[in-house]
Structure formats: C-alpha cells, structure tokens
Chain A
Amino acid sequence: DIVMTQSPDSLAVSLGERATINCKSSQSILHSSNRKNYLAWHQQKPGQPPKLLIYWASSRESDVPDRFSGSGSGTDFTLTISSLQAEDVAVYYCQQYYTTPHTFGQGTKLEI
C-alpha cells in the first residue's frame, strides 16, 4: 500500500494568515504517461462529511475559493490557504488515487 504522511498533525493560524499543510507519499504518484499527480485534498468540517477541494494535486473544484491552492509533484505535496478565514476550521486529508487501495493521510486539524 502507498502510505500517505501529513505534517503537522495540528496547526493553529491567525485569521488572515497563511496556512500550509504538507503531505508525503511513500512512492511516486506521478503517472508517467499523462504527467498527472494522483493526489487529492479533502476538507472535513466538524460534524460533516468530507468534501473534495483539490484533485490532480493542484486543480480546484469549481466551488472552492481561490485562497485554497495545491502544489507539488512525485512524492511531496502541499495545501496552502493564503488567508485563513473562520470557516476554514476543519480537518484536511490528502489522498492518493494512483492505485488501489486508495489511501489517506492521517489528517491535519486546522484551528484559529
């Protein structure tokens, strides 16, 4: 199985400041033929199901604010929130879908 490791486990950021969450995969999830990274970020707010934020490592879902951005390639990836808003309090999970079993990082809890 591909192991996904996130850092940090928890993070406290002031409103309006930048938040950065890292994710590392145990093997490359970059597909050589299409040059796509099979990496997604999901946001889970308290008491809610997860929600897809970013796929292909850097493509935002249509309803996701542009303060959210994803970057990275191969085995190292980053989710950045450029200016933290109160509604961004959540647990964030990275997930690889390069191969089954699909695997998630352990989650990063983001607080104000």
Chain B
Amino acid sequence: DAGVIQSPRHEVTEMGQEVTLRCKPISGHNSLFWYRQTMMRGLELLIYFNNNVPIDDSGMPEDRFSAKMPNASFSTLKIQPSEPRDSAVYFCASSLGRGTNEQYFGPGTRLTVT
C-alpha cells in the first residue's frame, strides 16, 4: 500500500489567497483526520470524518477553514482567505474502525503564507 497520500507537499501563497490541501487515505480505512503542527501549539486535531461524515470539527480554528470528504478515497482542507498565521505543517491521517486502531499519517503539507 502507498500509505496516506497528501498533495501538495509544499505550498507557498500570499495572504488572502485560497489554499486547498488534498488527502487520499489508505484504501479500506473509514476514519480520516486532519491535523496541524506548529512549534507554538504542537499537534492539533482540526477535524475528523468517519465513513465520509464529519464527526467533530471543533478544532477548526475559524470559518476560513473548511473540510470535505466527498468519497472514501479523497478529502480536502480549504483555507479561504489564507493568513500568515496559518503557516504550519498540515497532516492527514487515516485509520480502520475505531477505538483500538492506530492512525497512519501522511507526509504532510508544509504551508507558508506570506
């Protein structure tokens, strides 16, 4: 298996622009998670889906952030408009089932907003 796939790996954009991050989970996994990692705040859970349905988006920082999972093999995280404080590494992770199963992380997207 190729593991969790994220694109792009790096994104540099100007403040005010729309940014879309993409994730393909491991085939067969039914839970998908979006995280953000920064030096100041560490690893934060933004939102997670189960069976393509958003379960908890309480970690989404504000309305500028939105996430979708139109099918079991694809998810997007969109920031519109982007701000410099959104600069971070964004990880997507997937897992099978619930409870006891570990999450598998993608390589991350490093976002820089200037």
Answer yes or no: are A and B bound together in one complex: no
